Structure 1
Amino acid sequence: MVSSERLDVLSVARVRAVLTASGFDADPAVVRAGVVTYRLVYRTIDPRGQATTASGLLALPATDDRRLRVVSYTHGTEIARVDAPSTATDLAADGWGQAPALTYAAAGFAAAAPDYLGLGVGPGPHPWMDVPSEVSASLDLLRATRAFLAAQGRTVDPRVLVTGFSQGASAATGLGAALQAGAEASLRLGALAPVSGAYDFRSVELPALLAGRVEQPYGVGYTAYLLVAFNRLHHLYDAPAEVFRDPSVEALFDGEHSGQQFVAGLPASIDALLTPRGAELLRHPRGRFAAALAVADATCSAPPGLRSLPQPLPAPVRLYAGGADTQVPRANSEHCAAALRGHGVDAPIVDLGAGVDHLGSNRAGTAAVVRWFLTPGGPR
């Protein structure tokens, strides 16, 4: 760990007020403790294995418990670095960025929410949908969390409860795989509960984006983000004019544009976004691009390293999805469940409701997952 900074002390009443204002469940049966939040800055590695730093939010229950169960929550797509969990600190204006972590902490867990690389106060651009760096940033935040709690005279239960939303869902399945495979000897996967993830980007999400089946402006935004982020890592094109009809689109992904500025700078449709070459690149990924997509899509296809574990069965897994999601098709979850089932892992899909859209699934999913984590005889 590089540094820690206390951000806020919230009473139970204030936690409930923040959650209610953000549309999250503030049920007193779950939200039963005050919360203290911290920003941790810690050492990790970038996508090329070079040393860097990242930041993350640690939310702790304001209790006297000396041993805490840790929930890792990985967040959905953000454009502005200040909207990451540890820097989205204006809870009176918008508690969305911290609401899931506050929920888990108020329920009695230590909630670790990585900002990812290039968001929060971490340097450089954000490598969007780069699962390996999402996993290393998440795992290193768990290590930093353990060190921080040890300095307070507290210990962590080694069985980590892993969840995440949207972009963070595949980050969560990747982290689950790493923990189950023994990436950190002192920690292991206790349960896995991702929400509304694009687990099969190439076969499900990309065709939906190109066909205009993902609601706008999200569809245009995700498509552009994929090209810009993957080009930074895998060199898909030499100049933005090769793939974007308006090359200035690439400048929107500097981490400094607000959500409003970002949306205002996007074209209205996929056809207005892409050149013929850009469309062809996405319709028929080849070479480095195809290889990178295969890595992003592998988190459900190889169950988490069962060979190295002493227990005969994997940790319990549940996939959560909303019934009215127009950003991430349900087929993503169905493909993930089928892939896991092929390896002997039962991963039921929990339907969050017929009218629950993508953003709503973060709210409904957080409420459902925290109750599962608290269930007597459940993953605890």
Structure 2
Amino acid sequence: MLNNPIRATAVATLVASALTAAAFAPAVAEAPGSLISVQAEPAGWHGLSRGSSVEYWMTDSAGVQRPASGAMFLPEGDAPVGGWPILAYDHGTSGSGPGCGGQADPESAPFQQQRGGEDRLLKRFVDQGFAVVAPDYLGLGRFDTGPHPYLEVRSEATATIDLVRAARAANHDLSRTWSVLGVSQGGHAALSAAHVQAEYAPELDFRGVAAIDPASDVEKILPFVSPTTPMVPGLSSATTSFIVSILAGLRATDPALDIDSYLTPRGKEIVDAAGSQCLDEIFASTKGVTSADLLARPLAPLRDPLAAYMMLPTSGYDAPILLSMNVADMVVPSPLHAALVAQFAANGVDQQVVLGNGQHGSVSPEQLATIDGFLARVNAAPTQR
């Protein structure tokens, strides 16, 4: 679930400007996908020459219009006939607070030491002729809209699709044709967007989704977590940080669930703080924290709410899917990857799978070549304005 397409490593410290980047929402909401602002950024922003930060309106899971931010990158030269096809890029886990997304304001992002790997991936697709758009997601960008609903399928999807709409409003050289690629949490987001795009944005021409080590089936495991659940040595801080992030997002999304009743006093302090923190800070706050430190009672009663909040659909897709998965993944373990593939297969989903032996979120040259070929194939038909 880590925000790094090359290697899952420790994160850099969030700079103070991350908090000052947060802004209050504009007074009047407009239709989803409407522009709030677009700002051309200097050459070299994200390592690219034609980048812009974008602020726009999106729809949250309750149907409320919320402000969000992201980035847009254009190829060099003139747009082709029909316009540049769009590739949405969904990033991996980066935290729960303003300034943590790292797309509209990359200098304030966690994982700053690993920024180059993600930017090289973005450049790869811009150089192939895609207009690339990259959402921060709800709550992770320039607007302080409350804790990011981490791994919530609906808001991940709408943040992505509404940025595609906003980018087209900002630049008429972008076509209706689009596809989406995501890493880890971003793979979860990309699949979520692929599932709802037909009903949410029928005016667009969706072609396919590539997901690299997507988070999946976590909602089936969490109900078994209780105060007596042992943490896996070496993974306890990461595991706890993901649980904390999910609980912070679920609590903000559905206050009626009374998430605080599942938490110890110390657990409530950690979850409270996580709502405004980036992942490095959440890691630090959960170091050495056990399930007994965090939880007052088992999470089993949250089985259905967790499924509604974060479960990836395993049927109902109308465009091809590429899954790039690493069998040595220790963040989203290979049994979870295998379960997703099996569920797609059982439901007749049009999927292609490419395997690697790297760490979570890594992509080998062979995997990259497969992703390139997949995107070229699904975008082979003429683009449409």
TM-score (norm 1): 0.77
CA spacing shift, 1:240–1:37, aligned 2, 3 Å: farther
Partner amino acid for 1:293?
Answer: A
Partner residue in 1 for 2:311: 297
Whether 2:74 is the aligned partner of 1:78: answer no
Q: In the alignment, does 2:160 pair up with 1:138?
A: yes
Deviation sequence 1:44-86 (CA, Å, 0-9, x none): 2233222221111111112222411111111111125324211
Corresponding residue SS for 1:48: coil
Aligned to 2:231: 212
Tell whether 2:178 aligns with 1:160: yes
Cα distance in structure 1, aligned partners of 2:324 and 2:373: 12
CA distance change for structure 1 residues 303 and 334 in 2, over 3 Å: closer, same or farther? Answer: farther
Contact 1:182-1:188 within 8 A present in 2 as well: no
Residue 61 of structure 1: aligned partner: 75
1:173-192 equivalences in 2 (<5 Å): 173-179=191-197, 181-192=198-209
Matches within 5 A, 1:1-380: 1-10=35-44, 35-66=49-80, 67-79=83-95, 80-84=97-101, 85-89=103-107, 94-96=115-117, 98-125=119-146, 126-150=148-172, 154-156=173-175, 158-179=176-197, 181-204=198-221, 212-213=231-232, 215-235=235-255, 236-237=257-258, 239=260, 242-243=263-264, 245-255=266-276, 257-271=277-291, 273-277=293-297, 280-281=298-299, 284-286=300-302, 290-299=304-313, 301-304=314-317, 314-352=318-356, 354=357, 356-361=358-363, 367-368=368-369, 370-373=371-374, 375=376, 377=377, 379-380=379-380
Q: Deviations over 1:294-331 (max 9, x none)?
A: 452142x2222xxxxxxxxx432111111221111122
Deviations 1:243-268 (A, max 9, x none): 4644321233233x354433222141
Q: Figure out how many residues of one structure are paired with residues of the other and give that number.
A: 334
Given that 2:52 and 2:73 are in contact with CA atoms closer than 8 Å, whether structure 1 keeps it comes out as: yes
* Residues 328 and 205 of structure 1, relative CA distance in 2, 3 Å threshold: farther
Matched residue SS, 2:51: strand
Q: How much has 1:291 moved relative to structure 2?
A: 3.0
CA shift, 1:36, in A, is 1.1
Percent pairwise identity: 23
Counterpart code for 1:7? E
**AA of the residue aligned to 2:285:** G
* Alpha-carbon distance in 2 for matches of 1:103, 1:244: 47
1:35: Cα distance to partner?
3.6
For the Cα contact (< 8 Å) 2:51–2:72, is it kept in 1?
Answer: yes
The alpha carbon displacement at 1:7 in A equals 2.0
Gaps of 5+ in 2: 1-34, 381-385
5+ residue gaps, structure 1: 19-33, 305-313
Q: Deviations over 1:98-155 (max 9, x none)?
A: 44333322322111111111111123121111111111111111111111121xxx14
Distance of 2:289 and 2:89 partners within structure 1: 32
Distance 1:337 1:241 in 2: 32
Cα pair 2:90 2:181 within 8 Å, conserved: yes
3-state secondary structure, aligned to 1:327: coil
CA 1:220–1:44 in structure 2 vs 1: closer, same or farther (change >3 Å)? same
Please state whether the residue corresponding to 2:55 is helix, strand or coil: strand
Q: Helix, strand or coil: the match of 1:367?
A: helix
Contact 1:56 1:115 in 2 (8 A): yes
Secondary structure of the residue that 2:106 maps to in structure 1?
coil
Say whether the 8 Å CA contact 2:149–2:246 is kept in structure 1: no
CA contact (8 A) 2:240 2:289 kept: yes
SS of equivalent residue, structure 2 residue 372: helix
Q: Residues of 2 paired with 1:338 and 1:238: CA distance? A: 32
Shift of 1:378: 5.3
How far apart are the structure 1 equivalents of 2:203 and 2:134?
A: 19
- Determine the C-alpha separation between the residues in 2 that align with 1:364 and 1:204: 32
Per chain length, whose mean CA-contact separation is higher, i.e. which structure has more relative contact order (CA < 8 Å, sep 6+)?
2
